[in-house]
A and B are shown apart, each in its own frame.
Chain A
């Protein structure tokens, strides 16, 4: 009886419209003098205002900040769901506001899954683009909902639709990218993410997406790399992690450090050795990586397996804490393969037992034989294994794909791609050349007659600058 919860609704009503139960709404409406403060009035406006910009402004400002979301997230006085009343295509903006608020305000009943899915599938792009931050909010809400229900998988489909339809093209980076791929990873739906990931990000427009932060970029590419690593598409994974590591940074972010660790492991699996980080990567990030046990792995890879295993055993805790044990073990599994692959460059024939000796698997001929067979099957090496245990390596394996490459169309394609790249660069060059910042800087430099290293001179003002100039700037 002395439980505070069942307090009579009258109290709260007089205190202010801060509680969301739908029963209060009728009272709220009567209390407030302005009709637009109620959901009813709002619905009227949503259906009557045809200009999305104006409607956006109304929805953005119709009520004091504290209560706005609550009202948006509530039900109609008669308990009906406002979302049912509106038409998805015609009233996209309105629904966007209502839906995102509903997902945000936990107390309001969650909208049914099919409503969300339908909206994501059919919303009107032009209207939605008026309020990009509401779209982000909606996406966050969808993920939250999935987590509450305990099935993140549910979020993947609507997020995918949202992501594919919302930006002008997939090559624009949006806050949705990171959210979607993260949801994919969390629900282990790696293959779903792949088509999105395969479109490289080339456009970043903070005018379209004002709520974009550097984390959106980092998280998207980090999660993307993780997806590719899980799909064992090492090359793409390497690319993605490298983008994260090389992202512009005054101080390295923790995501970048994690990506760097994964990058090393992926490179070990992919190439048998780790390459240097890109030159433009943050200096202290490189130092931190150099001091990590991951770098220690690269020193012994792939020849000294005994040492590798020792190191992994010793640093097991670190690897497990970083949740990279899976990749570490994969790299370890790949080590003998790389060692054998190196042998193909040196030997023409070698007995299985000798191979075993050089890859530290002496005495385990059967295991070595199995390994070689699997490598031959996967076309990692081009070799034959005779009955008496002699492995014959054929001509350099790396030469094989070349012979296929020689077809004319492939050469043409390569040329075309190169030309495209050149065109993109030239276009960019022009843009920079006529941009206000560049001209200002160039003019200033000229005035001061200061010629620093690589500083633009008069010729560069009018001519196409060599690529080194912008590489320097970057």
Chain B
């Protein structure tokens, strides 16, 4: 438990220097009730804790929800976590929030009961595992490990859960089992936001799938098995793709993430993961933001707008379509306004939170680049009205983009005009070729000399020549002496 919820907010803090305090008001609408209703299980509490830390204005409400929800789970340690997050938020804005005890009361009786129940359940499962191990029944051992893994996961001991899941692998006899194990581990890793290990288990799962497909061709298998295998594959593919996409997003590989998100199957294919891990609306947001931040306009058109499967996701969050439409019709001010309006929604998302800042910047930069593309010169004033910034702000942004090489243009700071560079491709090509030629020649010359030196064995060697070297040094420094006087 502690690794999961305690660590995540702190790591997101490390990424963006100041912890953003996310406002919730008319300009930044956010309906906690509807938002949280699309999730179920433990992730609800995780998300609520995340919200408590970021949005103090709705923290009391979130804490109440969290406390209520915790009782439907079986992990009493979630209580102190939620309260601690709340206390921290309260200490950041002193005097504005009522104390935790006023907002929600902890049902101590439930805590005691659940703890006792957990304890006995654990005993029972461990005893089971021990018996099966003694009896050496492979399948039963696997199931015992799996059950223990599930159990530890539900009480928040992720480390132990992971250990049991991975251990169950030794006792897997069919590809189906391996697949199950991989998916459980993936769920666990995603909950922990431990993205770097995700691809490993995806590969393992895919290998198992492949083997299942290949297994269908052995003599025993009938004709039907093969199509069954592909159906099997389809069933899991979306889950695996989602895990991959999320890990790519988590590691900041937005372009890859965009591609992976956009090729997900229908929401139904996610099975129990939808709700348990993610809401389909979230996928719409992730996919769209990543696409806007990294893909070309034509790619967005074909991959996002004309993508029937993905539009099913987008329907869950209609504002996403507005953003894409505004982007495609060059209404960049609307894009930026919408992004700002829903920034609360984005910041409060567990997985997206630490990337909102980068993604917004990327989208903005792309918008500027796109906007300027058709012009050979444009007044900064006009750009400022389109993007809704001051002229100085526009100039600052544009200069940054020019210096990073994203815009091929120059700023007339006197008349506040942005002017595209006129390049003569022919001249450029010649210049490039000639430069490459002369560079190659000088490199060749140096390398050949070096080779000849080596052939003649004129190689700098250590001890024998030390004296000689220092003598040469003396003359060398004497030489530079003259230069210095000269200048």
Contacts and interface: CB of A to CB of B under 8 A. Distances in A.
Given A323-B481, A390-B414, A256 B460 contact: yes
B454 A345 contact: no
Contacts of A110: none
B447 A474 contact: yes
Contacts of A182: 475, 479
B105 interface: no
Given A395-B422, A414-B437, A214 B453 contact: yes
B188 to A, nearest CB: 41
A255 B448 CA distance: 21
A197 B456 CA distance: 21
Given A215-B468, A254-B470, A256-B460, A347 B410 contact: yes
Contacts of B486: 188, 230, 326
A128 B24 CA distance: 94
Contacts of B223: none
Interface in B301-349: none
A151 interface: no
Contacts of B476: 219, 222-223, 254-255, 258
Interface stretch (B107-115, B171-179, B426-434): B426-434
Contacts of B455: 204
Interface residues of B, number: 63
Q: Is the interface of B mostly helix, strand, loop or mixed?
A: helix
B441 to A, nearest CB: 6
Interface residues of A, number: 83
Interface string B400-433: 0011000000111111010101111001101101
A351 B414 contact: yes
Q: Is the interface of A mostly helix, strand, loop or mixed?
A: helix
Interface in A168-188: 182, 185-186, 188
A212 B479 contact: no
B403 A323 contact: no
Contact of B461 (A202, A251, A417, A424): A251
Interface string B161-200: 0000000000000000000000000000000000000000
Given A219-B472, A219-B476, A348-B411, A399 B427 contact: yes
A14 B138 CA distance: 107
Contact of B456 (A212, A230, A258, A280): A212
Interface stretch (A2-10, A400-408, A456-464): A400-408
Contacts of B460: 214, 218, 247-253, 256, 282
Contact of B480 (A324, A354, A401, A428): A324
A393 interface: yes
Contact of A239 (B412, B442, B465, B469): B442
A217 B457 CA distance: 12
A213 interface: yes
Contacts of A202: 445, 448-449, 452
A112 B459 CA distance: 39
Nearest to A200: B445
Interface in A373-401: 390, 393, 395-396, 398-399, 401
Interface string A311-327: 00000000000111111
A326 B402 contact: no
A254 B469 contact: yes
A254 B437 contact: no
B471 to A, nearest CB: 9
Nearest to B414: A349
Nearest to B440: A421
A351 B445 CA distance: 45
B453 A204 contact: yes
Nearest to A185: B479
A239 B439 CA distance: 11
A17 interface: no
Contacts of B431: 398-399, 401-402, 405
B477 interface: yes
A253 B445 CA distance: 22
A470 B451 contact: yes
Given A253-B469, A325-B484, A405-B431, A349 B415 contact: yes
A203 to B, nearest CB: 7
Interface string A130-145: 0000000000000000
B459 A474 contact: no
A253 B461 CA distance: 8
Interface in A88-106: none
A215 B472 CA distance: 8
Given A278-B446, A470-B451, A230 B482 contact: yes
B376 to A, nearest CB: 12
A202 B445 CA distance: 7
A425 interface: yes
A399 B483 contact: no
A288 interface: no
A93 to B, nearest CB: 26
A362 interface: no
A421 B422 CA distance: 34
Nearest to B481: A323
Contacts of B136: none
Given A188-B482, A346-B399, A349-B415, A204 B456 contact: yes
Interface of B: 399, 402-403, 410-415, 417, 419, 421-424, 427-428, 430-431, 433-434, 437, 440-442, 444-462, 465, 468-470, 472-473, 475-487
Given A248-B460, A348-B417, A405-B431, 18 more contacts: A186-B478, A186-B482, A200-B449, A204-B456, A214-B453, A214-B458, A230-B486, A247-B460, A248-B450, A252-B460, A282-B460, A348-B411, A350-B414, A354-B413, A390-B414, A399-B428, A401-B431, A418-B441
10 contacts: A186-B479, A188-B486, A204-B455, A248-B460, A250-B461, A258-B477, A323-B483, A327-B483, A344-B410, A346-B411
5 nearest interchain CB pairs? A249-B460, A326-B484, A323-B480, A348-B412, A326-B487
